[in-house]
Each structure stands twice: as structure tokens, then as C-alpha cells.
Amino acid sequence: MKEELQLKIIERFPQFYKPNLYGCNQKRFYFECMDGFFDLIWKTSEDIENALKKYPVIYLESFSIVQVKTKFRELRVYWGFDKETAGVLDTNTSSLIYSNLVEITNRAGTLSRSLCEVCGRNIPAEHIDMTNNWILKCPDCAKKEQDEKQSSEI
Ligand SMILES: [Zn+2]
């Protein structure tokens, strides 16, 4: 994902996207997907923030997103709570929050399956070809790539 888009998300949700040991850039959080998922990641971050705001503030404070990546053509959002706070959290509240967050991140995964990872457009179901390439592209982006490939071969 473009540097400026990544920074936009990090600046809006600094609490969620802190540097960590995952990914290839430990100085800041690194999004391992293409630009087309920007809106979906933004919306998902908002949903997570709104969900956490319903609970005691310790949950929001100890929450972070560990990794955001495309895996098997789907956006995956991995997250967790600080180990130190996990012990003091109430079990019932924790399991409520966990199922809430699982729902939100699973929904993002499902939605990503019909988005072009390059431009973010919705791909009509009949154009989704899971056999072709590792990145899910709309017909326009696929054609553009094909044209560029051909012109570089000439
Ligand atoms: Zn596209």
C-alpha cells in the first residue's frame, strides 16, 4: 500500500497501529496489501473503535492490531490485547468483546473477497477468477496490467 495511505490510517488510529515485530518495517506499522483495501481498512478500524468504546476504557487502551495482510485473496486483520492487562480483564466482558471483534474482522474478510485490491472497486461475481493470480483484480486493472506487460515485452 502507498506510504501516504498507510500513514493516513496510522495517524487516524495511532492506538491500533503501533510498530510491532510483525511485517517488514518495525519503525512503524506496515499494511501488507494493496491500495484497493484502504477504504475497507478505514471502515473496519472505525467499527473496531466504536465497538471498543462501548466497554471500559482499559480495553481500548490495551488493544492493538498486530497485522493487516492479504492472505488467500482475503483481507486478514489480526489483533490482540496486551498480555499485562489480559489478566485483569473481566471474563464475560472479554468474551463479548472478542466475539464482537471477530465479527467485525470476519466481515471485512468477506467484503474484501469482492473488491479489486488495486483500485478498490466492487468486482461483479462473474468476473472473480480465483485461479488466475494471487491478487484479486477487477477486469480493468487486470487488462491494464496485461497491456503494461505486453508493452514491456515489445
Ligand atoms: Zn481495479
Q: What is the DSSP letter of 80?
A: E
The CA 131 to ligand 1 mean position distance, Å, reads 17
CA distance 151 to 136: 22
Distance of CA 62 from the midpoint of ligand 1 (Å)? 36
pLDDT of residue 109: 95
**Residue 104 has which C-alpha cell?**
467485525
CB 15 within 8 A of CB 63: yes
* For ion ligand 1, residues whose CB falls within 5 Å: 116, 118-119, 138, 141
Residue 11: pLDDT over 70: yes
pLDDT band at 130 (very low <50, low <70, confident <90, very high): low
- For residues 132 and 8, the model is more confident at 8
**In the predicted structure, residue 1 carries a pLDDT above the cut 80:** yes
Q: Domain coordinates of the chain in residue numbers?
A: 3-113
pLDDT digits (tens, 9 = 90+) for 48-97: 999 999 998 989 999 999 999 999 889 999 999 887 776 677 788 888 99
> What is the whole-number distance in angstroms between the Cα of residue 132 and the centre of ligand 1?
15
Q: 148 CA distance to ligand 1 centroid (A)?
A: 15
pLDDT digits (tens, 9 = 90+) for 39-49: 999 999 999 99
Separation of 149 CA from ligand 1 center, angstroms? 16
For 133-145, what is the mean pLDDT? 82
For 37, which DSSP code?
G
pTM for this predicted structure = 0.89
C-alpha 140 to ligand 1 mean position (Å): 6
Cα 84–Cα 87–Cα 88 angle in degrees, nearest 5: 100
pLDDT value for 89: 73
Three-class secondary structure of residue 34 per DSSP: coil
Do you know the residue count of the chain? 154
